[in-house]
Chain A
Amino acid sequence: MATKYGGYMGKVVLLDLSTRTAEDYPWTDEDREKYIGGKIMAAKVLSDHLTGKEQPFSEENWIVISTGPLTGTGAPSSSRFDLSCLSPQTGILTSSNCGGSFGYYLKKAGIDALILKGRCEKHTWLEIDNGRFIFHDADADGLWGLRTTEGQEKLESLLTAKWGARRAFGKLMIGPGGENLVLYSAVLSGERAAGRAGVGAVFGWKNLKAVSVTGNHEVKVYDPVKNEKWNRKWFKYLRKHPLTGNQLPRLGTAGLVSAMQMRGILATKNYSAGRYEKFEFVNGETLAEEHNIVNKGCLTCPIKCARTVEVQGRKVKGPELETLVLLGGGICNHDLEKILLWNAELDELGLDTISCASTIAYAMEANEKGLWDNGLVFGKTEGITELFDDIAHRRGIGAELAEGSRRLSKKYGGEDFAIQSKGLELAAYEPRRAVGQGLGYAVSNRGGCHLNGGYLVILEGLGLNTNPLTPHAKADFTMLFQDLMEMISATGQCLFTSYAFFPGFLITRPGGIVTRIANAAIPFIGWALRFMNKFPLALELHLPVFHQTKGMCYAVGMKMTFGKYIRCGERGYTLDRWVSTRFGIRAKDDSLPKRLTDVPQDPSDPKTRVPLEQMKKTYYRARGWTQDGVPTERTLKKLGIL
């Protein structure tokens, strides 16, 4: 359907994999205004489709591959796209965000979003060429069974043989993990991964090994002159910012390991501690000094946080912070080379590094406590590479580990130390010394995700230094940050651009008077946040540190202000939650393992645990949900969802 807005291609396609037929999915400008794109748009599509009875492994589980309006407009870090569906790991809605170039090429094919329903009859790969859908036999073409790099190379050679070398393609590919329905398997796109919550397994169940996309459509922006000028300014701002222009490009996310150690939030030995005595072997500095990092990044990204590292004569993708921590101190391993090789191996197999590492840590502790005799021991790293392969192929003990920590803890016991929420394993931040982050993990729509949870740790020691143990104002900040990130993601931008929201001096001058006032004031401004969260539309303004709103005005032509931006994010977040409530999600599911809520990290300081129930109450109230965590009719109406 044509659109008056810039940035959009005006086409959403519903493709039935069972019948191999495509039709236009009705999507109007009113939908675009309300649901923007990316994960929010996907939540709306899935909300209109899902009743609460569907199963993740079923033809009724649709996969929505959606871009944002900024994708392809030249806005910084705007090549992200989302894969959304019911997660086999959590049983509820998930949205996995991915970088690389696939989103950009989907738009070049003239498509804003592609909805996949049904199931391919046999192993298939899908070619999208300017809006044409061509189904190929993944067995006959030798793709099924391949690891992700080999698979993508093979796909490239198939496409080159057909089209010649001059066409460029975006690609999606699952590995053996997805083919064998490992509940936390990923979808790879180049080196980037839509890692979390098992979208790869849904591809596998649908017999869809890979997707390629190309086209020669042009992404038109609303006001090309202003858009270009604004983007130049925005790029400059990000390049100058101490975080997006210096720390992230130079140390990547791995640069946080040492800071987390100092703050006592470095998940260690399956979250039994917040500091790892051998962290210096596995931190970002050592990685930078010893492994010859070369920066890489997604399309149109000035930050370029991704990296290639050298290990044992190989060049491999550098690990993200989460992998470094959870395959390091998380399992008491201080061999950095092993982590680098494991990280590459997990990508090859198409497995989520966070859930895989955390499930293994759970298994090690279950073995240590005599609950499950599985031979896995903290600090013993021999055989782990083979174990990954067993998981991806569901062999031996690997078949059990493929189910994730929630299911294993139900079977063997130890739910107190299965570090997951709603079935999704937590990221690497130990929340007992960053309690707002703890709340975020628990209430996060897709389960224990640090980003979807609001990433409060940025106020609690990794950025600002507000009291990490106080619950005050944490619920209100959680809501604000969740909504902001929801919207950034929906526009097609990388969440890392949001870090530039904090003026540089607040980060580089932690002892400065303004920074100290900010840190001290944060716990006391919950009331102001509550007002802002309640009446965001009163904020009819643009903030100088938040370039996103004007970016939307110039690229898309929507009259976006900071207030409207937050309101769109709130709509998306609540809509996602509302869908999950159809699948039975309630306050009881917004939980953390007892280790984090009942056992203080420091036995002499009872405050070093997450006071979850107290914060949840404020959070639900701020969101306009019932105390059982269900969005009220009034809230749904206020947000225009009903």
Chain B
Amino acid sequence: MVHIKLFGLLRLDTGLKELDAEASTVAQLYPILLAEARRVKPATKVTAKDIDGCTVMINGKQGRKSSRLKDGDQVLLMSPVCGG
């Protein structure tokens, strides 16, 4: 089981702050997330592509879509942002 936290517009648009999921790679999390988002917020406009574009961090280190996950990992997902 890995713990996922969401940030940026992804969080606002899915209505999801955090959740737990079974997955052995980051890529496997994406459909789970999308399904959960559609369950929590049926009107959500978030697409698989949006989730695919997110920045990933695993246990405080930069991760990527293909990164492997193990039990107890913490995954942060953030939609891309810029400017300030």
**Residues of chain A having any CB pair with chain B under 8 Å:** 243, 246-248, 250-251, 253, 255-256, 258-259, 262, 275, 280, 283, 285, 288-289, 321, 450, 458, 462-464, 496, 499, 502, 507-512
Contacts and interface: CB of A to CB of B under 8 A. Distances in A.
Given A262-B76, A511-B65, A243 B82 contact: yes
Contact of A258 (B8, B60, B84): B8
Contacts of A251: 8-9, 12, 81
B78 A262 contact: yes
Interface string B70-84: 000000101011111
A258 B78 contact: yes
B31 interface: no
Contacts of B84: 253, 256, 321, 450, 462
Dominant SS among interface residues on chain A: helix
A256 B81 CA distance: 7
B12 A462 contact: no
Contacts of B7: 258-259, 262, 283, 285
State the 3 A-B residue pairs at the shortest beta-carbon distance, nearest first. Answer: A463-B82, A258-B7, A499-B83
Interface of B: 5, 7-9, 11-12, 17, 49-50, 52-53, 55, 57, 60, 62, 65, 76, 78, 80-84
Contact of A499 (B5, B55, B82): B82
A499 B81 CA distance: 11
A462 B65 CA distance: 19
Contacts of B65: 511
Contact of B82 (A250, A288, A450, A462): A462
Given A262-B76, A458-B83, A496-B83, A250 B57 contact: no
Contact of A507 (B11, B12, B80): B80
A250 B9 contact: yes
Contact of B57 (A255, A262, A450): A262
B12 A285 contact: yes
Contacts of A258: 7-8, 76, 78
A255 B55 contact: no
A321 B78 CA distance: 17
B60 to A, nearest CB: 8
B53 A285 contact: no
A321 B57 CA distance: 22
Contact of A510 (B17, B55, B57, B60): B55
Given A258-B7, A285-B7, A285-B8, A247 B52 contact: no
B61 to A, nearest CB: 10
A289 B17 CA distance: 10
A631 B8 CA distance: 43
B83 A259 contact: no
A288 B57 CA distance: 22
Given A250-B9, A255-B9, A288-B12, 10 more contacts: A243-B81, A246-B9, A259-B8, A259-B55, A262-B7, A262-B76, A285-B12, A462-B84, A463-B81, A507-B82
Contacts of A463: 80-83
5 contacts: A247-B82, A253-B83, A256-B81, A285-B7, A496-B83
Contacts of A502: 82
A275 B76 CA distance: 14
Nearest to B10: A285
Contacts of A511: 52-53, 65
A510 B80 CA distance: 7
A248 B82 CA distance: 9
Most chain B CB neighbours (cut-off 10 Å) among A253, A259, A280, A458: A259
A180 to B, nearest CB: 31
Most chain A CB neighbours (cut-off 10 Å) among B9, B60, B82: B82
B6 to A, nearest CB: 8
B12 A250 contact: yes
A511 B60 CA distance: 20
A283 B62 CA distance: 19
Most chain B CB neighbours (cut-off 10 Å) among A256, A258, A321, A464: A258
Contacts of A285: 7-8, 11-12, 17
A324 to B, nearest CB: 10
Most chain B CB neighbours (cut-off 10 Å) among A288, A464, A507: A507
A258 to B, nearest CB: 4
Most chain B CB neighbours (cut-off 10 Å) among A496, A502, A510: A510
Contacts of A458: 82-83
A449 B49 CA distance: 36
Contacts of A243: 81-83
A262 B11 contact: no
Contacts of A246: 9
Nearest to B49: A509
Contact of A247 (B49, B55, B60, B81): B81
B77 to A, nearest CB: 10
A283 B17 CA distance: 13
B8 A509 contact: no
Most chain A CB neighbours (cut-off 10 Å) among B9, B52, B62: B9
Contacts of B5: 280
B81 A255 contact: yes
A288 B5 CA distance: 16
Contacts of A496: 83
A499 B82 CA distance: 8
A131 B16 CA distance: 55
Contacts of A510: 53, 55, 80
A255 B8 contact: yes
Nearest to B57: A262
Nearest to B11: A285
B52 A462 contact: no
A508 B45 CA distance: 14
